[in-house]
Amino acid sequence: MIGFVLSVILTAIPFWLVMAKVIADRNTAVLVLGGFAVIQILVHMVFFLHMNGKVEGGWTLLSTIFTGVFVAIAIAGTLWVMFHMNANMMPEHPTPTPPTPPTPPTHEASGHATP
């Protein structure tokens, strides 16, 4: 029952934060919602999957930690590669410069010398 109540609370609070537009800054909102998501994952693992260090001699928890580390490395590596591919391989577009107005031609009258 504790897991269910925590899951409802950890779903309702982020829903309210988004719908009421409590957090104006997008980056802060992403970090806060990501924090709630991580906490909810831990609640699900403990209360619904009954994971702890004692089940099956700790191998279930160890395999879950390995999976988390592997996924984190894969996501971080993917983001790193995509960022550097974008920064290093996209063609640079020249900035357009405004055209310079043409200079009017100068006409010298014949027979008149300028000193």
* pLDDT tens digit sequence for 38-53: 999 989 988 988 887 7
Q: How confident is the model at residue 84 (pLDDT cuts 50, 70, 90)?
A: confident
- pTM for this entry: 0.58
Supply the mean pLDDT for the chain.
Answer: 85
Per the structure block, which two tokens stand in for 94? 């020249």
Q: Provide the residue ranges of all domains of the chain, joining segments of one domain with +.
A: 1-50, 53-85
Angle at 97 between CA 94 and CA 102, to 5 degrees: 145
Per the structure block, which two tokens stand in for 11? 């779903």
Predicted pLDDT at 23: 92
Q: Which residues contact 44 (CB under 8 A, 6 or more apart)?
A: 3, 7
- Please give the DSSP secondary-structure letter assigned to residue 110: T
DSSP letters for 19-80:
HTT----HHHHHHHHHHHHHHHHHHHHHHTS---TTGGGGHHHHHHHHHHHHHHHHHHHHHH
User: Residue 23's CB: how many other CB atoms inside 10 A?
Assistant: 15
Q: Mean pLDDT over residues 24-35, rounded?
A: 93
> Does residue 97 have a pLDDT over 70?
yes
- Per the CB < 8 A criterion, the answer to whether 17 and 23 are in contact is yes
Q: How confident is the model at residue 57 (pLDDT cuts 50, 70, 90)?
A: confident
Query: For residues 77 and 89, which has the higher predicted lDDT (pLDDT)?
Result: 77
Q: How confident is the model at residue 108 (pLDDT cuts 50, 70, 90)?
A: low
